[in-house]
């Protein structure tokens, strides 16, 4: 490998390593999922449908979790120069109407079918993200409870 400076060489090396790791993950998992934000959009729509069957505070938690999943497609839209809200509305509507997963075409800002375009994500990466985010959220809530309990004991 050759490059104009050490930093560029490190970036090339990282890109090659990450690409090989992604291929290795796909081979080991024997599973890939549609990319371009399609998983997050479908999960959001599914959770919002499920939310209607839930009562109480848990309903708010399901809604908050569903909305947090939209960070990835929103980030894809903003980084591609498109309005995040308009893009999310288009994607969620298209996903509701379409049995196939729908993701964001970064060149046009319009909904597209990632499977047809060959855009995929690794299953294990998405699984780990979902696992980590729920653990982190639980820990933050626990810290919040502990701090609230500490403030109450200081007052009394």
pLDDT in tens, the chain (156 residues): 777 888 888 999 999 999 999 899 889 989 999 999 999 999 999 999 999 999 988 899 899 999 999 999 999 999 999 999 999 999 999 999 999 999 999 999 999 999 999 999 999 989 998 899 888 888 888 888 888 877 776 665
CATH of the domain at 46: 1.10.560.10
pLDDT value for 133: 85
Which structural domain, as residue segments, surrounds residue 101?
34-134
- Angle 57-69/123-155 helices, nearest 10 degrees? 130
Assigned domain for 55 exists: yes
Assigned domain for 7 exists: no
User: CA-to-CA distance for 78 and 88, rounded, in angstroms?
Assistant: 11
pLDDT value for 140: 86
User: CA-to-CA distance for 88 and 95, rounded, in angstroms?
Assistant: 10
Measured CA distances, 5 to 12, 18, 72, 141 (Å): 11, 20, 32, 45
Of 114, 132, 118, nearest to 68 (Cα)? 132
pLDDT value for 134: 82
Find out whether 73 and 87 touch, Cβ atoms under 8 Å.
yes
Assigned domain for 46 exists: yes
């Amino acid at each position: 490998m050759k490059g104009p400076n050490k930093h560029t060489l490190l970036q090339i090396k990282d890109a090659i390593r990450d690409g090989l790791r992604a291929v290795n993950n796909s081979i080991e998992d024997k599973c890939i999922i549609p990319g371009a934000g399609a998983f997050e959009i479908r999960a959001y729509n599914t959770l919002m449908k499920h939310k209607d069957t839930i009562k109480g505070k848990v309903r708010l938690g399901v809604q908050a979790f569903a909305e947090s999943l939209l960070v990835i497609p929103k980030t894809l839209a903003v980084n591609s120069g498109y309005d995040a809200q308009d893009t999310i509305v288009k994607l969620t509507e298209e996903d509701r109407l379409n049995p196939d997963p729908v993701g964001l075409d970064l060149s046009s800002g319009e909904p597209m079918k990632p499977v047809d375009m060959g855009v995929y994500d690794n299953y294990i990466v998405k699984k780990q993200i979902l696992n980590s985010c729920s653990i982190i959220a639980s820990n933050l809530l626990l810290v919040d409870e502990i701090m609230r309990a500490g403030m109450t004991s200081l007052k009394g």
